[in-house]
Amino acid sequence: MKPVILVTRKLPDAVEERLKRDYEPRLNPDDRLYTKDEIIERAEGADAILPCHTEAMTADVIGRLPDSIRAIANFSVGYDHVDLEAAKARGIIVTNTPEVLSDATAELTILLMLGAARRAGEGERLVRAGEWKDWSPSFMVGTQMTGKRLGIIGLGRVGRVTAQRARGFDMEIHYHDLNRLPAEAEAGAIFHQTVEDLLPHCDFLAIHCVASPQTRGLLDAERIALLPEGAIVVNAARGVIVDDEALIQALKSGRVKAAGIDAYNNEPNIHPGYKDLPNAFLMPHIGSATAETRDAMGFRALDNLDAIFAGREPKDRVA
């Protein structure tokens, strides 16, 4: 008898076809966001859950799951939406999908940098509204990326690909991580022991660290004040890493010249202060949204499930 898998969102066709072949999936063809109670109800009799970051697998939810649930195989690299301690207490294996979305998220990071620096959101709105009148030397002047300093918080998989892409713009790479990387992984990037040491060297700042209690609110008013005047901030990681009020105030004052954002607190109900800022270039959390990457994420999640139900250790176990 095939294991029953509760799938909380609509997945790519190729991933759902593999699910149908190897498992008994409970799919969500309408891609409706389930409530916590609906997740628990639909999990009755299932062997595993395949959720996305949109499902908050809190201690309360995990505590109410049926005893049949053996695994939570996330369709995401981040797993801050899952209470790992609660899962461990129930003996539920938790996995994620690292590596496969590094290129796509790094591409989106470069888009955020360019979009914020070259005022792409403002320009696009002008053209669509028919308000573009003529050319002049002072019209829509932005910031050039080429040759600038890029600071990266978290030089992991995505951070290293972002650094590699940024070198195509002759950017000088600076970074902070918990530990200094080997020289071959640094590839010439300049290490800073603390975030505070890093920030004064950032004409552009890219956030690529994981969300954790230690990084929650990491970019606050005090740290923003350490950036060079007119720096550009981009976040394609998790919203909780940024203090919204502090960043919005810095954008209003011009202390931060522009921001490119793809991850927010309380998605999709983002802080309303961002919406009125012309110097905020906003994307709807699409860092991994390429056809190639979404297929790869699904296959990686299924690889983990295959291992679990074959009695093997899954490659991407996080709890």
CB burial readout 16-32, b (16+ within 10 A) else e = bebbeeebebbbbeeee
Q: What is the pLDDT of residue 199?
A: 98
Taking a C-beta distance cutoff of 8 angstroms, is the pair 263, 239 a contact? yes
Q: Which of 21, 267, 292, 312 is catalytic?
A: 267
Which residues share a beta bridge with 151?
Answer: 174, 205
Q: What is the pLDDT of residue 60?
A: 98
Taking a C-beta distance cutoff of 8 angstroms, is the pair 108, 86 a contact? no
Q: What is the pLDDT of residue 53?
A: 95
Q: What is the pLDDT of residue 119?
A: 98
- Whether 285 is catalytic is yes
Q: What is the pLDDT of residue 85?
A: 98
Q: Name the CATH architecture for the domain at 102-282.
A: 3-Layer(aba) Sandwich (3.40)
- Whether 99 is catalytic is no
Task: Record the tokens describing residue 34, joined without a space.
Answer: 């389930």
pLDDT in single tens digits along all 319 residues of the chain: 999 999 999 999 999 999 999 999 999 999 999 999 999 999 999 999 999 999 999 999 999 999 999 999 999 999 999 999 999 999 999 999 999 999 999 999 999 999 999 999 999 999 999 999 999 999 999 999 999 999 999 999 999 999 999 999 999 999 999 999 999 999 999 999 999 999 999 999 999 999 999 999 999 999 999 999 999 999 999 999 999 999 999 999 999 999 999 999 999 999 999 999 999 999 999 999 999 999 999 999 999 999 999 999 999 999 9
Start-end ranges of CATH 3.40.50.720 in the chain? 4-100+291-309, 102-282
Q: Which of 238, 255, 294, 300 is catalytic?
A: 238
Contacts of 83 (CB under 8 A, 6+ apart): 57, 58, 59, 62
Q: Which of 174, 285, 294, 300 is catalytic?
A: 285
Q: What is the pLDDT of residue 243?
A: 98
Contacts of 309 (CB under 8 A, 6+ apart): 3, 47, 48, 70
Task: Record the tokens describing residue 52, joined without a space.
Answer: 């996305």
Residue with tokens 């053209």: 127
pTM of the entire structure?
A: 0.94
Q: What is the pLDDT of residue 90?
A: 97
- Whether 201 is catalytic is no
Would residue 188 be called left, alpha or beta, if left means φ above 0 and alpha means ψ between -120 and 50 degrees? left
Q: Which CATH number applies to 4-100+291-309?
A: 3.40.50.720
- Sheet with 190-191, edge to edge strand ranges: 190-191, 172-176, 149-153, 204-207, 231-235, 256-261, 280-282
